[in-house]
Amino acid sequence: MKQKVSVYAIVKHDNKVLLLRRALGRADIIGKYELPGGELPYGFSPQQAMTKFITEQTDADPQTLQLYDVRAYPSAYDDKTTRVDVVYLASIHLPAHLHLSPRHSKYIWRMMQDIHQNDVTEATYNLLGFDKTPEYLKMLGLSQSNDDDKKTSDILVTAYTDGGSRGNPGPSAAGFVLYDEQGRTIQEGGAYLGITHNNQAEYEAVCLALTAAAKLGCKRIQFRLDSQLVVNQMNGLYRVKNEELRAVHMQATQLVKQFEHVTFGHIRREFNHEADAIVNRILDEQELHDAV
């Protein structure tokens, strides 16, 4: 099975989304609007490619790029190919006017409620999640209101978590970073766990993030972690067969009950570097402490 990877950016400004009208390409997409992006070039990381596409397609410099979602699905044009879409939330340094590449003929900024299905490509329609509004609007930070005074409990927090063990079992640590809907860091933290296994550490990271979010008064949280085991077990797709994981899985399950909305999504390890860096920093500090 072949795999084609594409990267896209949901560029936001004043509660509006940037859309570019296609001037080149397949007949079914010419004249329709889409998100900035394209197929991942050979030798580029997704983040490098996204920066490249935004710069080339709009002549604007990206200010922030936050990984939002990674989706895999069968290609509509080739049953032997799997498509993977890597989606970023982005902001750009706005010049007086965007200068477009030949790929696009026009750009617009649109409120979500003003975007119509027939005006955008199918991929853009799906990536913006119109079938999930209004909840999805809140996830993207694109509510139909410009109210910046939302209660903490109303904010959808995104939690990146990671756990690591040097030896498995071995010295282990857990780390997490909480972001608000605008991609700003709310809180980060971690803990040294002693000698344990990697999967145990992954669960401990989830528990740390849930505890921190609950103390902040958050009620809605979406997790992004690179442990498929933990994601699938927390989503109820896998049974917890390992006796050592049952207690921490139960702890995480009990903590989840404090929230109104909790989801768990898997990301590749290279998209989880902030939480991973916290884990490695804790383990490095512990090694120095033990060596003294």
Domain that holds residue 27: 2-129
Q: Which of 70, 95, 129 is the last residue of a domain?
A: 129
Please, what is the Cα angle at 42 between 40 and 45, to 5 degrees?
Answer: 60
Number of domains in the chain: 2
List, in order, residues 6 or more apart from 52 with CB less than 8 Å away. Answer: 41, 44
Of 148-152, 178-182, 245-249, the range with the highest mean pLDDT is 245-249
**Angle between the N-to-C axes of helices 198-215 and 243-256, in degrees from 0 to 180, rounded to the nearest 10:** 20
User: Does residue 122 sit within a domain?
Assistant: yes
Whether residue 25 is contained in a domain is answered as: yes
d(CA 216, CA 200): 25
Q: Is 143 a domain residue?
A: no
| Whole-number pLDDT of residue 97 | 86
- Residue 134 is assigned to a structural domain of this protein: no
Question: pLDDT at position 69, please?
Answer: 78
Q: Which residue has the higher pLDDT, 77 or 172?
A: 172
Of 96, 129, 162, the residue at which a domain comes to its end is: 129
**CATH number, domain with residue 194:** 3.30.420.10
Q: In sequence order, what DSSP letters do the residues of 253-282 get, joined into one string?
A: HHHHTT-SEEEEEE--GGG-HHHHHHHHHH
Indicate the pTM of the whole model. Answer: 0.55
Do residue 120 and residue 171 come from a single domain? no
> Among the three residues 94, 129, 164, which one is the final residue of a domain in this structure?
129
pLDDT of residue 132: 43
Q: Between helices 198-215 and 273-291, what is the axis angle to 10°?
A: 110
User: Does residue 135 lie in a domain region?
Assistant: no
Is the dihedral angle over the CA atoms 49, 88, 70, 31 positive or is it negative? negative
pLDDT digits (tens, 9 = 90+) for 130-170: 544 344 444 445 444 444 455 667 788 999 999 999 998 99
What pLDDT score was predicted for residue 134?
45
Residue 116 binned pLDDT confidence (cut-offs 50, 70, 90): confident
Q: Are residues 110 and 157 in the same domain?
A: no
pLDDT of residue 196: 95
Distance CA 135, CA 50 (A): 26
Q: Summarize the confidence of residues 103-130 as an average pLDDT.
A: 84
Q: What is the CATH number of the domain that holds 101?
A: 3.90.79.10
Asked if residue 179 and residue 74 are part of one domain, the reply reads no
The helix (run of H) or strand (run of E) holding residue 98 is none
144 lies in some domain: no
Q: Is residue 190 part of a domain?
A: yes
Confidence of residue 58 (pLDDT cuts 50, 70, 90): very high
pLDDT given at position 135: 43
Instruction: Indicate the residue type of 140.
Output: L
101 shares a domain with 29 = yes
